[in-house]
Amino acid sequence: MSSAGNKIARDGKAPIVGGFVVLFAFWVVLTGSLHPENIVGGVLASGLVVLLSKDLMLRTGERPAVNPSTLVQGVVYAVNLVVAIIVANIDIAKIVLSPSMPISPGIVKFKSNIKKDFSRVLFANSITLTPGTLTLDVGDGNFVVHALTRKNADDVSHWAMEKKVIEIENAGS
């Protein structure tokens, strides 16, 4: 890596540069044009968004490692999450459409082996995205989740997605 590249990495500007490049590439794809006015607009819009949100970007120590293994596991995770969301939607539809409305709401607290904050947030958001469950709190590896049914509450504390998050976390270490 060149000395300029080392300086960018040391200064913590890599997320800003990377964010700008990703946003600008997205802009070009959306506009589908390389006309000068679109290029100038994309540079201004991407630059403004990056400057206004730079304090929200993950710092180097917080970012998961990006390598072929984590990318493959991330895609597998996303596919499994979509499948889980579809299955949960069907289950919730059955509950809602049932005349007896068989719900038994409850709150479950469980300990997770997920170590990194980013991975905990990923898992908590995955729980919340899945119909019938809502993450209420995450702290020190403990998750507090509201579930629409007792089965949801039992399932979430032993959800296979936790293992997949840990695998992604370990692959990036």
Over residues 132-162, the pLDDT tens digits come to: 999 999 988 899 999 999 888 888 888 999 9
CATH code assigned to 68-171: 3.30.70
Q: Residue 145: in which H helix or E strand, if any?
A: strand 142-147
Q: What are phi and psi of 79, to 5 degrees?
A: -65, -45
- Tell me if 95 sits within 8 A of 148, measured CB to CB: yes
Query: Which residue type occupies 27?
Result: W
Spatial neighbors of 124 by CB under 8 A, at least 6 apart, are 135, 138, 143
Domain coordinates in residue numbering, the chain? 3-56, 68-171
pLDDT at 49 over 50: yes
The two structure tokens encoding residue 113? 């082996």
CA distance 7 to 13: 9
pLDDT at 81 over 60: yes
Q: Is-above-0.85 flag for pTM?
A: no
pLDDT bucket at 9, cuts 50 / 70 / 90: very low
CA distance 49 to 19: 9
